[in-house]
Amino acid sequence: MVTVAALIFAALALVLALVCLTAGVLGTVSRLPRNRWLGVRSAETLQSDEAFVLANRVAGPGVICAGVVLTMGAALAAALGGGVGLIVALAAITVGIGIAGVVGSLAIRAAAAAAPDPASDCGVSGGCTSCSLQSMCVTEDSAAGPKA
């Protein structure tokens, strides 16, 4: 029974490895289009296609590493079987997801750092009425009202 569980978790690790390897390679070579399922997805990365490509390019090598860890764990778990194989499969899944999470966090930070400052365009391309930071454009003098 334990060997069956080890094989099931080894198969799960292998499926996750294929997803990670695919997303990592496509992200690294900037061929991963913005989508609903694959890649680093957050408010920062989904602001534009450029932010999404940058984030996935940053995360790509780490996600490939996560895929390699998952592949090695799946192979080792299937070879060992039993309780040890189950532990190896679960450890590989945990470490792989952890690596992907850490590099995803770094990629989100890169996308946020590369985003233009929204206030730098304030009043230039259509005035404050076209800006989501409309209330930020009001200066202290204009907020005080007309001078007497």
More confident residue, 122 or 35: 35
pTM: 0.78
Q: How far apart (Å, rounded) are the C-alpha atoms in residues 113 and 102?
A: 17
Q: How far apart (Å, rounded) are the C-alpha atoms in residues 54 and 73?
A: 29
More confident residue, 145 or 56: 56
Angle between helix 82-114 and 49-80 (nearest 10): 170
Q: Which of 90-99, 107-116, 136-145 has the lowest mean pLDDT?
A: 136-145
DSSP code string of 19-85: HHHHHHHHHHTT-----SSSS--STTTTS-HHHHHHHHHHHHHHHHHHHHHHHHHHHHHHHH-HHHH
Name residues whose C-beta falls within 8 Å of residue 22's C-beta, 6 or more positions apart in sequence.
Answer: 38
Q: How far apart (Å, rounded) are the C-alpha atoms in residues 146 and 148?
A: 6
Q: Which of 7-11, 80-84, 85-89, 119-123 has the lowest mean pLDDT?
A: 119-123
